[in-house]
Amino acid sequence: MSFLGSLLGLALTLFMLLLLARLIIDWIGVLGDTPPALRRARDVVHRLTEPVIAPVRKVLKPVRLGGVSIDLAFTVVFIAVLVLRAIAFSLGK
């Protein structure tokens, strides 16, 4: 079970890095003009992460605070990945 746990932990780590890339790229887009290369990177990252986030977003709608919208689905998925990653790596020991 240790190899499988480590492999799952690695996959979850890679997905977590994709989520962090999505977060950073989205914030760069909010703060200013997005260059074409960054738009392509945003499209790729969204295409890879959206199949996991979209079903959660159907249940947890974004919360509006004035002119700002907080995506709770992203937060829930990120925390779930962190927890599952910790469990997977503990199985890998």
Residue 90, pLDDT above cutoff 60: yes
- What is the pTM assigned to this prediction? 0.87
Q: What pLDDT was estimated at residue 10?
A: 93
CA distances from 77 to 4, 43, 54, 64 (A): 22, 19, 10, 19
Average pLDDT over residues 35-58: 94
Q: Report CA dihedral (11, 58, 27, 84) to the nearest 10 degrees.
A: -30
Residue 16, pLDDT above cutoff 60: yes
Considering only residues 34 and 82, tell me which one the structure prediction assigns the higher pLDDT.
Answer: 82
Residue 73, CB-side half-sphere exposure with 13 Å CA sphere: 15
Q: If DSSP codes are grouped into helix, strand and coil, which group holds residue 70?
A: strand
DSSP state of 90: H
Which residues lie across from 68 on neighbouring strands? 65
Give the model's confidence band at 72: pLDDT under 50 very low, under 70 low, under 90 confident, else very high: very high
Q: What pLDDT was estimated at residue 22?
A: 95
Q: What pLDDT was estimated at residue 92?
A: 66
